[in-house]
Every structure is written in structure tokens, then in C-alpha cells.
Chain A
Amino acid sequence: MAFITCENVSFSYENTSVIRNLNFSVDKGDYLCIVGENGSGKSTLIKGILGLKSPAHGKITRGDGLKKNETGYLPQQTPAQKDFPASVYEVVLSGRSNSRGWRPFYSRLDKQTAIDNIKRLNIEHLLKRSYRDLSGGQQQRVLLARALCASKKILLLDEPVTGLDPIVTEDMYRLIEELNKKENITIIMVSHDIKSSVRYASHILHLNGDETFFGTTDEYIRSPVGKYFFSEDKKNV
């Protein structure tokens, strides 16, 4: 059974439906990119997958041993966060708070997990630095480490490269690919960047009103909607 299955899912927002009859599934080890224009319902779908918003119709189910709180999430940064006084360690450790339930303090295992993930993303040298003093790319790495503290199975990334310069963007994509290939972590990424999505993802979900596409990346490139957007994209480069 797939990790996440969407069956005939529809979402509406203030009485207008943004997503209609959506069907797709994410298996273990997949790298799914969700692309689409602004207002196509990407954020709504993310909320649905996270279980923060229930669909108007249809259902989103989890399977293959994926529990409700086992989704590592990398949200878009808020302006308030960018100058938040917290050390890198404090931020990464907060990724473990979901596993605590009502127990108030972190265990040794929680702290070890945080340190392990900090090492895994090569940000050990930042451990004691303040989050607000870091560059955008470093902040994203810290948030990614926090997401890994919350889940070893699946990561949901909401436009993780927004506002990063090209070199750091490339770095970030490579890091995500590594997590996917080497550690078999399932990736769901919302992206504006169709070109990179096609390059890295195994599956594409293109939200585009009634012409929604879901399939493997190869199928996407050959599909009418993919051809249209991909050639558009090439022209612009």
C-alpha cells in the first residue's frame, strides 16, 4: 500500500473549489514534485496531506505504516522567523516535540537525534550560532534538519529554494536528492521551478484546473500539459 493516497479529492476555499477530483498516490522512496501556478491549490493540498484541512470530497489516506505525526515538514519561512532569537540546536531539537506527547522534557535520545541530524546536514559548525545570524541557505538546512528529526520516512517541502541564490539552490536540490536516493526518504516538494522538478523528481503532479496531470517524470515530459509548460520554460531560459 502507498504511503499517501488521494482518492477523488476536492478542496474548496471560501465556497470556490480549488481542486477537483484529484487522484494520486505516493509510494515509499518516491520523489514527487507538485507544480502549478499561484492559486492552483498547492498550499491547500499540502494542508490536506498534513491533515490540517479535510477535503470537501474524497479522502486522503496514509498507509504502509506511516503514522499521522510522522511527516517531516519544511514550511515556507515567515518574516517573524527570520530574526528569531534561537540557537540552531534549539531549533533542530524542536523537531522532536511531536514525539514527546504530554511529557514535557526531551530525552537523551531526542538530543542525540538532533545532533545526528545536524551532523548529517553538515551544519555542526553552526550548532551554537543564532538562527537569525545565518544566511538563507543555512537557515533552510537547519529547518531541514528539524524536519528530519520529526520523520525518517517522508519529507514535505514547501518551496524550499525560494529566495536562495543559484549556487545555494543547486546545493539544496542536491542535498534533497541525496536524502531521497541514499536514505530512501520519500520526498514531496512543492515547487515553482518546473525545470529542476523534471530533473530531480521521479513523479510530477501538475495542478492546472481541469487539466491536472499526475504520473512519472518521463510521462510528464511527453504529456500535452508537460510539453506545453516545458517548452515554454525552455524558451524563457
Chain B
Amino acid sequence: MFESIIKMFSYEFFVRAVIGGSLISLCAALLGVSLVLKRYSMIGDGLSHVGFGALAIAAAVNAAAPLEFAIPIVVIAAFFLLRISENGKIKGDSAIAIISTASLAVGIMVATMTTGLNTDINSYLFGSIIAMSQKDIIICIILSIIVIIMFVFFYNKIFAVTFDESFAKATGTKAGAYNMIIAFLTALTITVGMKMMGSLLISSLIIFPAITSMRICRRFRTVVICSAVIAVLCSISGLIISYQYNTPTGASIVITNVCLLIIFSIIGSVSDRINAKRYSKQ
């Protein structure tokens, strides 16, 4: 087992996948804490489907740089989704469902009518370990540096806006602007990460680490740190499983996340009971 892991890391594509996967998971987890707590996690799901539609169209028109083509489209969709969840006539969740299924349908229609459902399209849907090119890795690194710096810099504001938007607004914090920043960074993360994780599963990177760490952690700061660690660990172990058993990358990472969530839930419910006892004695 140990030897085969060392052998894995001797392949350049695998090292690329580990670096890219960890960075994408890290960014998604940081943003995810805020999105999950604000009940916006479905936006991630919606955006990934929009991203798929955009990439399918990019492939169809033979765009030289599909990623650069898709990113602005997804960013626009992110702003749009945020607006409807805030003040739309159609309720947020149904609006997201409409947009995400519509773009998935458009993507598949365009793909089958032009290039056919080839491996490229397949990997956009389900993710692929070998999908990361040298250029993708560079984009990943730049993106994650941007996300981490923004997150650290705006950490206190993000907390204030996540915990209580009406208070933040009332005391003069531009809550809308911070929502936009989060949506923008989420759109970037999703589009870049889609190639490896697949659009059907990438939203799990946003949701799982936050939910898992909230089973145990009781402070915002520890939730953030714990989510980041969980995300990186899960993506590396998922990649190893994916390589070892030749399973799709996205699915393997999600499975490791599910296992960790179950473990954390059990630990969490036990410690909740202990806590309840301790405080009832006081």
C-alpha cells in the first residue's frame, strides 16, 4: 500500500491532480462555510451546472480557451442567482433549480449536436483525474491565492455578514458587496474545479467540509480551520482511492467526505450529550 502511494506520486499527472484538487477543495471549503450558514449552498450547485453549459458551448464553438470562456458566464450567473435569492418573485430554491437544469439541458443538447458526448464532456460531468493540465494547475494556484487572501482580509466582515446580515447592514457594512465577493469567488472556484470534480459533484466540495466540521466545532474560527483541513485531507485520500481502484475522481472524493461526515456526526452527538450534562449541572 505504502509503496503504491509512493509510486502514485512519481507520476506527474497525479502530483498535478493532488495540488489542484487540494487547492480547489480548500477554496471551496472556505467559501462553503459562509454559503452553508447563509443557506446559500444550493447556489454552488446551480453554478456548477451553468458552468457545464458554458463549457459545452465553448467546446462546440471550438473556443481556444474554454475556461476563460466559461468563467465570465458563471460569474454573471452567480450575481444573478444571488439577486433572485435575495428579492425575486420566484422563490430562491426553485429559481436555482430552473437555471441549473436549464443550463445542464442546453449543455447536453449543444454537446450531442456538435461534438457528441465525448470524453471531454464526460469529464466535465463526472470529473477526471487526468484532466488537469499544466496550465490548469497554474490557474488553480493563482485562484487559491486570491481566495485565501480575500478570505483572510475580509474574515471579520464575512463573519459579521454571515451571522447577521440585517445587523451588518444597519451598522453600515455593505453586506451586498460582501455577498457579491463571495459569489464571485465561488463562481471562479467552481469553474476551475469542475474539470477535475465534475459539475455534478463539485457542489459537494462546498457543502461537505462545512457541514462536517459544524458537527463538532462550536466557534466560527475553528469551523473555518477545520473545514479547510477536512477538505484537503478528503481530496487527497479521494484521489488515492480514485487512482488505486480506477474510480471517477469526483465520486471518490465525495465518498471520503461522506465517511468523514458520518464519523464526525457520531462524535458530535456523543460530545453534545456530555456537554449537555456538564452545563445542566452548573
A residues near B (Cβ < 8 Å) are 50, 52, 68-69, 71-73, 75, 78, 80-81, 84-87, 90-91, 93-95, 97-98, 100, 104-106, 129-130, 132-133, 143, 146-147, 150-151, 156
Contact = CB atoms under 8 A, between A and B. Distances in A.
Interface in B145-167: 152-157, 159-160, 163-164, 166-167
B220 A52 contact: no
B167 A75 contact: yes
B163 A133 contact: no
B29 to A, nearest CB: 14
A87 B220 contact: yes
A71 B173 CA distance: 12
What is the interface of chain B mostly: helix, strand, loop, or mixed? Answer: helix
Nearest to B220: A86
Contact of B156 (A105, A130, A151): A105
Given A104-B155, A133-B218, 15 more contacts: A52-B170, A75-B167, A78-B164, A84-B220, A90-B159, A93-B156, A94-B156, A94-B163, A94-B167, A95-B167, A95-B171, A97-B157, A100-B156, A129-B218, A150-B171
A85 B223 contact: yes
Contact of B171 (A71, A105, A133): A71
Nearest to B272: A133
A81 B159 contact: no
Given A84-B37, A91-B163, A98 B220 contact: no
A104 B220 contact: no
Contacts of B54: none
Interface of B: 37-39, 152-157, 159-160, 163-164, 166-173, 214, 217-221, 223, 275, 279
28 contacts: A50-B170, A69-B171, A72-B171, A73-B170, A73-B171, A80-B37, A80-B38, A80-B39, A81-B164, A85-B214, A85-B219, A85-B220, A87-B219, A87-B220, A90-B159, A90-B219, A93-B156, A94-B160, A94-B167, A97-B159, A98-B172, A98-B173, A105-B156, A106-B156, A130-B219, A133-B279, A143-B167, A150-B167
Nearest to B169: A52
Contacts of A72: 171
B153 A86 contact: no
Contacts of B221: 90
Nearest to A90: B220
Most buried by A among B39, B159, B160: B160
Contact of B164 (A68, A75, A156): A75
